[in-house]
Structure 1
Amino acid sequence: MKVIRMAKLIVLGGALILIGLICWWFFGHHVQQTGRATRTKTGQEATVVVNGGYSPATIVLKKGIPAKVNFEMHDSTACLSHVVVEQLGIDKDLTKQPVTTITVPTDQAKEFNYACGMNMFHGKIIVK
């Protein structure tokens, strides 16, 4: 009887810890990096590394300077195999090449949200 009771307590404790971790993963406040574009001869470029998410998740671009954002694929997860920027009508398959480039209009200050193909991982491109 004592062994069964102890086993139930261990299973209950493990389940509560697992529920807590799941809640933290989906609802917790996670600090996200913000990246800035670097100047090139023809404009500005920023790189987002795709590896279990987007790093940095937020990119800041300067208004009025032609811009490209490179998505560098390091993860073969099905969810992260596509990047979707709905406002620009972009849905790119990231698995076809190691780096996929998208052009972002910078003629006006604006924010563009992007996500993985399953809308589970998110990022933002800010033009200011």
Structure 2
Amino acid sequence: MMTPDRWVVLITGLLLVAFIIWFFWLKRSKGVRASDMSGGYQEAMILVKGGYTPDTIIVRRDKPVRLNFRREETASCSDKVVFEHFNKSAELPTGELVAVELMPREAGEFSFACPMGMLRGRLIVE
């Protein structure tokens, strides 16, 4: 038979696990629309610090995209970003601005992440 204190510990643990699952895998942000810049690029600035901010970028298809990453941490997981669908990746040295250029040809939702998949973002192509 479980005592009341064990029930409290069990319920608290289950709630913590549910929160972690939601925070890392299920949380969705509305997204930020990339800005139209001279030169025809759609551009967005992404801060890398404990995650990608913003983590959802909205762009139009058939128009070049330039995502400017600035890494403000030294965690080894965040030292690279991978765009699997576009077959692109980039090293992200701490404190430097790194531009990743893509040409989205089809509408859809495409993920980008660190090599371990702990930091994740989305590129929504309309």
Q: TM-score, normalised by structure 1?
A: 0.76
What does residue 92 of structure 1 align with? 90
Runs of 5+ in structure 2 lacking a partner? none
Q: Which 10-residue stretch deviates more, 19-28 or 82-91?
A: 19-28
> What letter matches 2:121 in structure 1?
G
Q: Identify the residue that residue 116 of structure 2 maps to in structure 1.
A: 118
Partner of 2:49: 51
Residue 5 of structure 1 corresponds to: none
- Residue 21 of structure 1 and its aligned partner are, at CA, apart by 2.5
TM-score, normalising length from structure 2? Answer: 0.77
Runs of 4+ in 1 over 3 A off after TM superposition: 9-20
- 1:77 is aligned to 75
Q: Is the 8 A contact 1:33 1:55 kept in 2?
A: no
Instruction: Summarize the Cα distance change of 1:19–1:99 in structure 2 as closer, same or farther, 3 Å threshold.
Output: farther
Structure of greater Rg = 1
Which of 34, 37, 54 pairs up with 1:37? 34
- 1:10-31 Cα deviation digits (max 9, x unpaired): 8985686456334312235434
Aligned counterpart for 1:108 among listed residues 82, 106, 109: 106
Cα distance in structure 2, aligned partners of 1:12 and 1:100 = 50
- Partner amino acid, structure 1, of 2:46: V
What is the root-mean-square deviation in Å for CA atoms of aligned residues?
2.5
How many residues end up aligned between the 2 structures? 121
Partner of 1:3: none
Measured in 2, the distance between the counterparts of 1:99 and 1:11 equals 50
- Separation in 1, partners of 2:71, 2:88: 17
% identical equivalent positions: 26
Residue 33 of structure 1: how far off its partner (Å): 4.5
User: Structure 1: how far apart are the matches of 2:6 and 2:96?
Assistant: 43
Supply the AA of the counterpart residue of 1:111. E
